[in-house]
């Protein structure tokens, strides 16, 4: 399935508190989402969750989170 105008944001949070959100680049082409095209940076995250959040045409579509200890 091809997706158009997508981006990944990365968010570090705990409960209702978002410590940081890194907004990714929007990929305007219509293609299969390829995580290797997502720019990441090395940041120090706080204990809680680190989530990759998918946006399509500017709308939130879902996320996958990992626990940070």
For the chain, the domain total comes to 1
- How much is the pLDDT for 6? 92
DSSP secondary structure letter of residue 33: -
Among 17, 26, 18, residue whose Cα is nearest residue 54: 26
CA-based angle 6:10:15, to the nearest 5?
125
What is the pTM for the complete model shown? 0.83
**Where in the sequence is the domain holding 51, given as residue range(s)?**
3-68
- How much is the pLDDT for 36? 67
CB 6 within 8 A of CB 29: no
21-47 pLDDT, tens digit per residue, is 999 999 888 887 766 666 666 678 899
């Amino acid at each position: 399935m091809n997706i158009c105008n997508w981006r990944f944001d990365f968010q570090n949070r705990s409960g209702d508190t978002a410590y940081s959100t890194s907004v990714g680049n929007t990929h305007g082409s219509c293609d299969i989402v390829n995580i290797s095209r997502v720019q990441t940076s090395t940041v120090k995250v706080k204990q809680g969750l680190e989530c990759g959040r998918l946006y399509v045409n500017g709308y939130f579509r879902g996320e996958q989170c990992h626990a940070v200890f």
